[in-house]
Amino acid sequence: MVKKIGFIGLGVMGASMASRLIEAGYELYVYNRTRSKGDALIGKGAHWCDTPRAVAENAEVVITIVGYPKDVEEVYLGKDGLIEGIRKGQIFCDMTTTKPSVDIMIAEKLRERGADMADAPVSGGDTGARNGTLSIMAGCRDEVFDTLLPVFQVMGKNITHMGDVGSGQHTKMANQIVIAGTMCGVSEALVYGAKAGLDLEKMVQTISKGAAGCWTLDNLAPRVLKGDYEPGFMVDHFIKDMGIALEEAEKMELPLPSLALTRQLYLAIKAEGNGKKGTQVLVKALEALSGKEIL
């Protein structure tokens, strides 16, 4: 049974996920590039480590959830990276949304040293991270999944073993493709409803109970109506994810026109200085296209 867990990446998602692990009784060893983000967890009993290597040296299982593919590579393979503190029999679990090829490459290097790897990206935003209701899509060996399952169950509800390393990331790409289209649809509906003079709260409540019902309507549309554009999931990270999906689709000679269009809209939002806002800020791009403020 796993008792000591390392956790690297204490951002919007990671901090809540790590907090739930402490509350569940795991001994946690944490690292983040900005140490102050670990203060709350240290106050709850987590042990601070100065490097990823130190995390690996202390933990049985190490979880990472960082920003970009280059960050994943640095944490695992860089100077004082996890691979320098590796021990035979350890399990490393990357919950970052990253390129499938990156996690596959790292898994091969860890395997050479006797350790195992899982890729297990998540969906559910900041709300799911806080409430422990994330969807977790895992790619790894059967035995690794069995070991990690009790840990996953602290952080998520819908937990699926998708296959070998890399399959978790491919599943997350499918997830992000759906979210991109849904974000466009919900944003267009809000702008349309506002322009038509509808009571938007009533509109959202009504259409969310029919065929249009979805997570985005339930969780992000209410934030828009309150003028809340703070991130449950940042524009910068969504642009990264859509870019990965388009890159993988190109390798498969697969056209994804709606995803490409959505990414262009988000790039326009980022150019206006909104890269750190939540993905629901897409409505502002649609307002700009209409030529005036609607919501």
Give catalytic residue positions: 172
The answer to whether 63 and 5 are in contact (CB under 8 A) is yes
Query: Phi, psi (5° rounding) for residue 5?
Result: -120, 135
CB contact set of 261 (below 8 Å; sequence gap of 6+): 184
- Concatenating the DSSP letter of every residue in 92-115 gives EEE-S---HHHHHHHHHHHHHTT-
Exposed, middle or buried: residue 13 (CB in 10 Å: 0-12, 13-18, 19+)? buried
> At residue 247, what are phi and psi to the nearest 5 degrees?
-65, -45
- As a dihedral over the C-alpha atoms of residue 177, residue 73, residue 162, residue 212, rounded to 10 degrees, the angle is -20
Beta pairing partners, 209: none
Residues 155 and 123: beta-carbon distance below 8 Å: no
Residues linked to residue 63 through DSSP beta bridges, in sequence order = 7, 93
Rounded CA separation 283/294 (Å): 9
Amino acid identity for residue 1 in this structure: M
Paired with 190 in beta bridges are none
The b-or-e profile of 158-195 (16+ CB within 10 A means b, else e) is: ebbbbeebbbbbbbbbebbbebbbbbbebbebbbebbe
